[in-house]
Amino acid sequence: MKELIKKSLAKAISYEEYNVLVKNLVAEGRTTGETTKEKVDYTKLNYSRTKRLDKTIKLSEEQFKFFQDINVKQTWLVITEPWCGDAAQSLPFFNKLASISENIELKIVLRDENPELMDSFLTYGSRSIPKLIILDKNLEVINHWGPRSKEATKVVDDYVQEHAKIDAQLKTNLQLWYNKNKGEAIIAEMQELALCENYSEVV
């Protein structure tokens, strides 16, 4: 696993580089991976949502201090694609939290260019994204997260249980939930998963 992680990190890009990539794709009417009109449209929409979140994310003093005080070196490696709606809702928060701490480095890889890595972090057998992998200073996998917070997952699961399908209405419901929650669920779960001073570096 460590060799796979090293190989993936060698190809990884920063959040800033990722945003430049997406900006260029939008300008060219393209997307990554297998191109469909739907994915191109989602890439454009997600770029707008990401830009908005980058400008509007607000943290409480307690949340800011938590991530500022993290004293354990770690890498947050995210598997994603520009057309992924859930990624557009979480990546800006990952970046915001990582930017607060001098000990967190955020790196991004594309799912379809890294199938071996993706297949090591499946969600119920599915290549669901985004997937955040938290690595310690030795590049050992400590935690992973995704593709959604537990609360967002419940929104999806409850709808599918009732309607037996994933459709446009579910996507609307999920977007409304994201707008109302304002990233609080993601931030709380990152506080639970991030390596902090009480982490034992025995691995």
d(CA 182, CA 108): 22
For 146-173, how does the pLDDT look when each residue is reduced to its tens digit (9 = 90+)? 999 999 999 999 999 999 998 999 999 9
Q: For the chain, how big is the Rg over CA atoms in Å?
A: 17
Question: Distance of CA 158 to CAs 31, 87, 162, Å?
Answer: 31, 21, 6
At residue 193, what is the residue type?
A: L
* CA angle, residues 44, 32, 134, in degrees to nearest 5: 95
Cα–Cα distance measured from residue 56 to residue 135, given in angstroms and rounded to the nearest whole number: 28
**C-alpha atoms less than 13 angstroms from C-alpha of 3 in its C-beta half-sphere:** 0
Residue whose token pair is 């990233």: 183
pLDDT tens sequence across 6-62: 999 999 999 999 999 999 999 999 999 989 999 999 999 999 999 999 999 999 999
- One of 3.90.1170.50, 3.40.50.300, 3.40.50.150, 3.40.30.10 is the CATH number of 2-148, namely 3.40.30.10
pLDDT in tens, 68-104: 999 999 999 999 999 999 999 999 999 999 999 999 9
Q: CA 55, CA 62: separation in Å to the nearest integer? A: 20
Question: Which pLDDT value is given to residue 34?
Answer: 87
Q: How far apart are CA 121 and CA 111, in angstroms?
A: 11
Mean pLDDT, rounded, for 107-129: 97
Q: Given pLDDT bands bounded at 50, 70 and 90, which one contains residue 197?
A: low
| Per-residue pLDDT at 185 | 98
Q: What token pair was written down for 194? A: 């991030």
Determine what percent of the chain is predicted with pLDDT higher than 90: 93
pLDDT band at 202 (very low <50, low <70, confident <90, very high): very low
CB 21 within 8 A of CB 80: no
Global pTM reads: 0.94
Triad 83, 107, 110: Cα angle to 5°:
35
Q: Distance between CA atoms of 134 and 176, rounded to whole angstroms?
A: 28
Strands 131-136 and 141-145: antiparallel
Task: Please state the domain extents for the chain.
Answer: 2-148
Instruction: Give the distance from CA 46 to its chain's centroid.
Output: 13
